[in-house]
């Protein structure tokens, strides 16, 4: 593990469970992030932990307020200017992260626990999860569910097209925790090791 320069303040680490709504069995990740993480960075952490490619628009919806990337045409708050600690979330409270409004991938984000930072632990980190991230532009959770059913039936008229589109290597039940943490470390290691958020 990479050591962190941040002090181990009580409750300085947020344990979040991120679940993709309308998927069964659910696609989810449990991540550990610093409370000082701003929402723009949390977006990037969720992208990497889930396996999305960050091709599309996104936003957080928290207590009815919208937070998104800074843009002259944006109608919500600048996500880069709001840290998790500023939201004063209660343990058990949830909020929404929406990725790709066209496909409408809605994620429920639950604050499961606040933890003391471990000086031997790299943050952000993923500690658990299940199932592979859907492919980009698949058409949202409903269409993704249809595609998964189609590839179970080789005689289905859309089987060949669906298999070709997904690729031979795609395994919907696969989740590699070690690989996920390697991606997070490569993406955020330099910043986290300096103790910045």
99 part of a folded domain = yes
CA dist 2 and 125 (Å) reads 11
The pTM score is: 0.88
196 part of a folded domain = no
Please indicate whether residue 174 or residue 74 has the higher confidence score (pLDDT): 174
The residue range of the domain holding 102 is 13-133+175-191
123 part of a folded domain = yes
Mean pLDDT score across all residues of the chain: 89
5 part of a folded domain = no
CATH number reported for the structural domain that contains residue 104 in this entry: 3.10.290.30
* Mean pLDDT of the region 57-77: 90
Q: Per the structure, how many domains does the chain have?
A: 1
Strands (DSSP E) contained in 56-121 are 58-62, 65-68, 77-78, 94-99, 105-115
State what percent of residues in the chain have pLDDT above 70.
Answer: 90
Model confidence at 3, pLDDT cuts 50, 70, 90, reads very low
168 part of a folded domain = no
Model pLDDT for residues 16-41, shown as the tens digit of each residue: 999 999 999 999 999 999 999 999 99
């Amino acid at each position: 593990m990479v050591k962190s320069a941040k002090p181990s303040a009580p409750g300085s680490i947020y344990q979040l469970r991120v679940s993709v709504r309308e998927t069964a069995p659910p696609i989810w990740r449990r991540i550990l992030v610093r409370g000082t993480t701003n929402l723009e960075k949390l977006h990037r952490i969720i992208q990497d932990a889930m396996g999305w490619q960050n091709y599309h628009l996104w936003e957080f919806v928290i207590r009815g307020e919208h937070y998104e990337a800074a843009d002259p045409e944006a109608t919500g708050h600048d996500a880069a200017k709001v840290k998790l600690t500023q939201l004063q979330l209660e343990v058990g409270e949830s909020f929404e992260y929406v990725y790709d409004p066209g496909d409408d991938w809605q994620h429920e984000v639950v604050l499961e626990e606040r933890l003391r930072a471990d000086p031997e632990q790299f943050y952000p980190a993923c500690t658990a999860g299940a199932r592979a991230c859907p492919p980009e532009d698949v058409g949202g959770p409903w269409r993704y569910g249809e595609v998964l059913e189609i590839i179970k039936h080789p005689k289905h008229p859309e089987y060949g097209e669906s298999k070709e589109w997904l690729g031979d290597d795609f395994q919907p039940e696969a989740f590699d925790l070690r690989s996920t943490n390697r991606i997070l470390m490569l993406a955020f290691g330099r910043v986290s090791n300096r103790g910045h958020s």
